[in-house]
Chain A
Amino acid sequence: MSIKIRFGTFIQEIAGRERPLSYNELVPELQTDAGGEALPYRPDRLQLRPAEVYAVIQPYVGVRLLEQLRAVVPLALYLMLFQLLVLRQNVTDSTVITAGLLSVIVGLVLFMEGLKVGLMPFGQIIGTILPSRSALPTVLTITLLLGIGVTFAEPAIGALKTAGSNVRAEDAPYLYALLNQWADVLVLGVGAGVGLAAVVGTLRFLYGWSLKPLVYLTLIPTIGLSLYISADPQLREILGLAWDCGAVTTGPITVPLMLSLGIGIAAAAGKGDSSLSGFGIVTLASLFPIMTVMLLALYVANISSPAELIATAAASAAVDTGTLAWHARTPWLEVIGGIRAIVPLVIFLLLVLSMVLREKLSKPGEITYGISLALLGMIIFNIGLSYGLAKLGGQSGGLVPAAFTQIEIVANSPLYSFGFGILVALLFAWFLGFGATLAEPALNALGLTVENLTNGAFPKRMLMRAVAFGVGCGIALGILKIIFSIPIIYLLLPGYLLAVIMTALSTEEYVNIAWDSAGVTTGPVTVPLVLSMGIGFGNAVGAVEGFGILSMASIGPILAVLGTGLWIQWKIRRRHEQSEQQVIATPETVT
C-alpha cells in the first residue's frame, strides 16, 4: 500500500509559514457602566515604529513623486539634449534650471495631493447637495462664480503673466497692456469664459442638447470677431494670445471641479447616466475664453490709444529700474501669487457651503491639511515655473532658430542650410508636442473613457496617438507661423472650417471626444514650456509676438481625432457591407 498525501497538505507543509492567532484575543473587552450598559468603544492610537511609518509613507510619496517625475524629466531631458547635440550649445544657468524643475515637481506633487484632499471634497459636496437644495438660477450663478475662482487657481495661468514680461510694448502695445496692466482683468475675463462655459455645459446636460449646434454657434461669432480684429493692424497681435487662452484654461483644477458640479446637477435632475454627460464642458471652456479675451481687447482698445499704452509701459519700466519693492521680489512675489490663487477660491467654497447649503465639513482637519498643501504646492510650483520651465523653454526657443538663421548669441549660426535648418526646427517642435502629449496623465484617463464609450471601436492607444500626432503637427505649424510671421487667422480659419465640416459629418460621440481631447492635452507642465518656448523663439527670429502655438496645438488634435473617427466609421460601414455581400453570396454557410 502506498501512502496517500493530499497535494494541498504537502504544499501547506513546505510553504506554510503561517502562525494562527485567534481573532477573539485581539478584540477589546467592552467596558460597562454602573448600569451594566456597554460603553461605546474608542480604540487607542496606534504607536508605529519608525520603520513602519516609513513603510506607510514611502509608497504614498513615491507614487506621487514618480507621476510628476514622469511628466517633467523626459521633456526637460529632451530640450537639454536637443540643445547640446543638435544645436551644440551649452545649457546656461543649468543649476538654476535644475533647481527650478525640481521645485516644479515638488510643487505639483503637493498641489495635486492638496487638491485631492482639500478641494475635491468641496466639489463633491457642492456637486451633490447644491442642485437638490437650490433653484436652478442660484445653482447656475454659483457655477459661473466658481468658474472664475478655479481659473485664478489654475497653475498654468501664472505662465501667461510670466510670458507678458517678454513682450515689447512698442511692437504690440495692446498685447503688452493686456499681459501687464490688465493681467488680472485678463484672467478674470478668461475665468468668466470658463464660468459661462460651465453654465452652458450644465444646461446642455439638463436638456440633452447636442454638442454640434453649440460648437457651430460658438465658433461663428468667435471666428467672426477674429476676422474683425485681424483687420485692425494694432489689435491683430492679440489674436494669438486670445486663442491660446482657451488652451491654458483647462487644467488639473478646472476640469475635475467643473465636471463634478455639472454631473451633480445632471444627476439631481435624473439625467446623469448618459455616457456622454462628462463631455462638452471642457470643449466650451476652451472656446468661450477666446471670445471674452477678444472682447476685453476691444474694450482696452476703445478706452486707450496705442501711444498712451506705450507711454504707460515706458513709465512703469522707468520705475522698475530702481530697486523692486519687497512684494515684487522673488520669494514674496510667488507667495502672494499662490495666496491670491487659492485663498479666494477656498473662501468662496466655504461661503457657498455655510451660507447657501448650511452644511458642515465632515473632516475639517483633513481639509485644512489639504488646503495648506495646495497653497504650499502652488507657491513652490510658481517659483519653479519662472526659474525652471519658463527659463528652459525660453532658452531652447531662443536657440532653435540658430539652426536656420543667424543669431547673435550663437557664434557660427546658421548651423545648417536654411531648408534643412527649418526642417530641424519643425521636427524639434513636432517631437516636443508628440512626446509631451503622450506623457500627459489626463489623456490616459480620457483614452480609457473613450475606449469604454465606443465599446472598443476607438482603442485607447489609437486615441492617444491621434491626439499626440495632432498636437505635434499643431506645434510645428505654430513654429512655422512664427518663422514666417503668418497672420494667425490664415491658419485658424481653414483649420476650424475643416473642423466644422468634419463635425457635421461625424456622429455625436466622436464630436464630443474630439473637441474635448483638445482641452485635456494642455497640462501644467506643457503649457508654460510651450508658451515660453514660443516667445523665446519669436524674440530670436524678431517676430512681434510668439503666441499662437498653443491654439495650433488645440486645433491639431481636434482634426486628428475627428479624422480618425471618420475613418473608423467608414471602416465599420465597409465591414458591414462586406459581410452583407458575403451572406448574399454564400447563403448555405449561414444556415
Chain B
Amino acid sequence: MSDKEIPVLTDAALITCIVQRGVADDIVRAAQEVGAQGATIHYGKGSGVRERLGVVGLAIEVEKEVITIVVADDQLDRVFERMYHAGKLGTPGMGMMYVTRLEKAATYIPHEIVERLTQRQARNSSGIR
C-alpha cells in the first residue's frame, strides 16, 4: 500500500486510426504538429474495401498499422481532422479512424505541473464557495 496519490487525467479521448503499412509515421507527425503528445503504433492485418475493389484492390496493402493516440477533449477535433487529411482517409482503401471517450488515463506528469494544477483547482473551488 502506497500512500502516494496517482495523478489521473480526465477529459481524454482515444483516437484509433488504421492505415496501410508504412503510412503511420506521417500521420503521427501530422497529429503531433497540432499538439498530440504521443502515439503508439502496432501492426495488424485488415480486410474490407480491398476485397470489393477487384484488380485495383491489389494496390492496397493487407498489412496495416494501427495508431492509437490519447488526446485531450479540447484538441480532439483538431487532431482528428488533421489525421484524416494526412492519411487521405477519404480515398478508398486508405483506412479508417474512430474516437473513443476515455474514463481516465494516467502516465508520467511532471511534478511541478501536478503541483500547479492542484493549486489552481483548490483556488477555483474556494472562489466558487
State the A residues within 8 Å of B (CB): 6-8, 11-12, 15-18, 43-46, 48, 52-53, 55-57, 60-61, 63, 117, 366, 369
Partner of A52, one of B51, B76, B81, B91: B91
- Most chain A Cβ neighbours within 10 Å, of B51, B59, B76: B59
Q: Which residues of A contact B78 (CB under 8 A)?
A: 11, 15
Task: Tell me whether B88 and A55 are in contact (CB under 8 A).
Answer: yes
Assuming the A-B contacts A45-B52, A55-B88, are A63 and B58 also in contact, with contact meaning beta carbons closer than 8 angstroms in the complex?
Answer: no
Partner of A56, one of B52, B60, B73: B60
Task: Tell me whether A46 and B76 are in contact (CB under 8 A).
Answer: no
A562 to B88, CA, bound (A): 45
Interface status of B38 (Cβ within 8 A of chain A): no
A526 to B101, CA, bound (A): 52
Task: Tell me whether B58 and A53 are in contact (CB under 8 A).
Answer: no
A11 to B22, CA, bound (A): 31
Task: Tell me whether A46 and B58 are in contact (CB under 8 A).
Answer: no
Closest to A17 in B: B81
Task: Tell me whether B93 and A56 are in contact (CB under 8 A).
Answer: yes
Interface status of B49 (Cβ within 8 A of chain A): yes
Q: Which residues of A contact B56 (CB under 8 A)?
A: 48, 53, 56-57
Task: Tell me whether A117 and B88 are in contact (CB under 8 A).
Answer: no
Q: Which residues of B contact A11 (CB under 8 A)?
A: 74, 77-78
CB-CB contacts below 8 Å: B81-117 with A: 81, 88, 91-94
Closest to B84 in A: A18
A18 to B76, CA, bound (A): 13
Assuming the A-B contacts A55-B91, A60-B59, are A46 and B53 also in contact, with contact meaning beta carbons closer than 8 angstroms in the complex?
Answer: yes
Q: Which residues of A contact B127 (CB under 8 A)?
A: none
* Interface size class, chain B: 20 to 34
Partner of B74, one of A8, A16, A44, A52: A8
State the B residues within 8 Å of A (CB): 22, 49, 51-54, 56, 58-60, 73-74, 76-78, 81, 88, 91-94
Partner of B59, one of A7, A17, A44, A57: A57
Which 7 pairs of residues, A with B, have the shortest CB-CB distance? A60-B59, A8-B74, A55-B91, A46-B52, A57-B59, A12-B77, A7-B74
Q: Which residues of B contact A18 (CB under 8 A)?
A: 77
Q: In angstroms, how far is the closest chain A Cβ from the Cβ of B33?
A: 15
Q: Which residues of B contact A45 (CB under 8 A)?
A: 52-54
Q: Which residues of B contact A369 (CB under 8 A)?
A: 58
Task: Tell me whether A8 and B73 are in contact (CB under 8 A).
Answer: yes
16 CB contacts below 8 A, A to B, read: A6-B74, A8-B76, A8-B77, A11-B78, A12-B77, A17-B81, A43-B51, A45-B52, A48-B53, A48-B92, A55-B88, A56-B60, A56-B94, A60-B59, A61-B59, A117-B58
Closest to B53 in A: A46
Task: Tell me whether A56 and B53 are in contact (CB under 8 A).
Answer: yes
Q: In angstroms, how far is the closest chain B Cβ from the Cβ of A373?
A: 10
A48 to B78, CA, bound (A): 29
Q: Which residues of B contact A46 (CB under 8 A)?
A: 49, 52-53, 92
Q: In angstroms, how far is the closest chain A Cβ from the Cβ of B4?
A: 23
13 further A-B pairs in the complex, CB-CB below 8 A; given A45-B52, A56-B94, A60-B59: A7-B74, A11-B77, A11-B78, A15-B77, A16-B77, A17-B81, A46-B92, A48-B92, A56-B56, A57-B59, A60-B60, A63-B22, A117-B58
Task: Tell me whether B52 and A43 are in contact (CB under 8 A).
Answer: yes
Closest to B20 in A: A59
Task: Tell me whether A52 and B22 are in contact (CB under 8 A).
Answer: no
Closest to B61 in A: A60
A44 to B54, CA, bound (A): 11
Partner of B91, one of A6, A16, A56, A63: A56
Closest to B73 in A: A8
- Most chain B Cβ neighbours within 10 Å, of A12, A18, A46: A46
Task: Tell me whether A44 and B52 are in contact (CB under 8 A).
Answer: yes
